[in-house]
Every structure is written in structure tokens, then in C-alpha cells.
Structure 1
């Protein structure tokens, strides 16, 4: 078994001069960084006093699931001889919050729109490729909630 390590740095930048003396005294802003990559501005969701112009962890989790599925799907399509010419996903994640403030994701639904350059018979293969991508995606295999997909496809003529 091979092991892969990921070591980004998360630096809080939201100290407004008083630190965390109260829940509204500090910002949720932070920077996610890693060697040789552009910084990613982060915050909490605006519902949790965050900055809506920055990425929040919930969005990043949903985006990670979408990215993982797409990358596996593209690789599986290439191996199956299916030529994908366009791919866009509009995923949604549903998180439930408990009265005390804790919460968890209930589900994520991916909505990939795939364009293929081929004949009509390739459309039958796409659902199986999406199923396999969902089964092998590292991120989807690591979460404890369902990751569904509702894919659409069209032929690039």
C-alpha cells in the first residue's frame, strides 16, 4: 500500500487587534497555502460570521468532491476510448446544523454536464463511468454521507 501526505498551511489573518475576546471581536479570515501554489483566501460561511468573498470549508469540501469525481471520470473515459470535449459541474451540498451549533453534511449531489465527441452509442457508457468514478474517488470514499450524481450528456457534433 502506498501512502500520500498532504501538508498545506492554514494561517489565521482575522485578528482585529483584540484577538478572540468575544465572538464578534475577530474575523474568520485565513489563508490556505502550500509550496508552489497560489494562496487561497478562506473564511467561514457568512452564516457563521464569515466573509462571503472568501472560500469557506463547506464550499471547499463540495468542490473537492466535484474535482475528484471529474478527474476520475476523465481518466476512466480516456481509458474506455470515450473522448470528452467539455465538462462542467454544478454540485450542491446540504449541511444540517443542530441547535447547539454543531452540524454535518447530509449529502452532496454532483451535476456534471459532459460533452463527448463520438457517436450516440457512447452515451450508454457514460453512466457506468460516472458510477465507477464515484466508487473510486478518494474524497467520496472518505466521507460518511452519500455523494450522488445526476449527470447530463450531449454529443459534440
Structure 2
């Protein structure tokens, strides 16, 4: 079993009013590999109190699903005898109401574009590779969100 860590840090800044909700949602996220990234709530959620240049939790979820699918896909493609030379994805997550007052990222659509060296999988083989990648993706196995490969 593996353990993964992230340290999230936030502090109230001078002049902000916590009681009235007038405070920045900007924070930092330090990962166990040493990388620290700026985080924030989504501007769609808190408007001007978001830090638009930072990543928000919804974006991180979409990126985690896309990254996990890609890494698993590359592995299963290699095992199937194919050679991928590049992989690009513009993943898109959709937030929807799941119950009164409750929202969730309900669907993530992946749009992978893959370049190959040598033999390329046909449409059926490509679909099977994506299916196997989805089944093996740890993150997809961890969420209820629908993940679709377009």
C-alpha cells in the first residue's frame, strides 16, 4: 500500500474580513515530491475572492483523471506492441447539481490525440486500449464521476 501526501496552507491576510467572507481563497499546495503550486477556489464559486492564476480543486480533479488515464494508456499501448510518440489531451470537466444545494463534477471528457511510430491501432484496438486504461486508472477507480473518452 502506498501513501500520498499534500500539504495545503492558507492564512488570512491583513485587511481581510473572514466573518463577512471577504478574504482571498488563495493558498499553496506542497506535494511530497517537493513541488508547490498556487491553489484557489474556482472563480465560478467565489468570484473575485478567487486567485484566477492558481489551480482550483475542480481543475486538479480533471487533470488527475486525464493524467492517470494517459499514463495507464501509455502502459497498455506498450504492452500491446504499439509505440506512442506523443499524447495530448484537453480534458473538460462539467459541474452539475446532484441534489438541491449540492454540486459535483459529474462528467469529465478526455480528448486524447496520440501520435504513433510504426503500426497504429485501428479504431477497435484504440477503443480497447482506452477501455483498458480506464479500467486500470487508479483515479478513475476512485471517483463516481463519469469519465468519457471522445
- Coarse TM-score class (shorter-chain normalised): 0.7 to 0.9
The residue number in structure 2 matching 1:123 is 122
User: Matches of 2:93 and 2:141 in 1, distance apart?
Assistant: 16
The residue number in structure 2 matching 1:153 is none
- CA deviation vs aligned residue, 1:89-124 (integer Å, no higher than 9, x gap): 01111111479753112211111001111235x234
The residue number in structure 1 matching 2:108 is 108
Between 73-82 and 91-100, the greater mean CA deviation after superposition? 91-100
The number of residue pairs the alignment matches comes to 145
The residue number in structure 1 matching 2:135 is 135
The residue number in structure 1 matching 2:73 is 73
- CA deviation vs aligned residue, 1:7-38 (integer Å, no higher than 9, x gap): 1100014x122462211x21101100024422
User: Matches of 1:118 and 1:100 in 2, distance apart?
Assistant: 52
Query: Any unmatched runs of 5+ in structure 2?
Result: none
The residue number in structure 1 matching 2:42 is 45
User: Matches of 1:48 and 1:94 in 2, distance apart?
Assistant: 13
> Which of 19, 23, 43 is equivalent to 1:21?
19
Query: Any unmatched runs of 5+ in structure 1?
Result: 151-157
> Which of 5, 10, 13 is equivalent to 1:12?
10
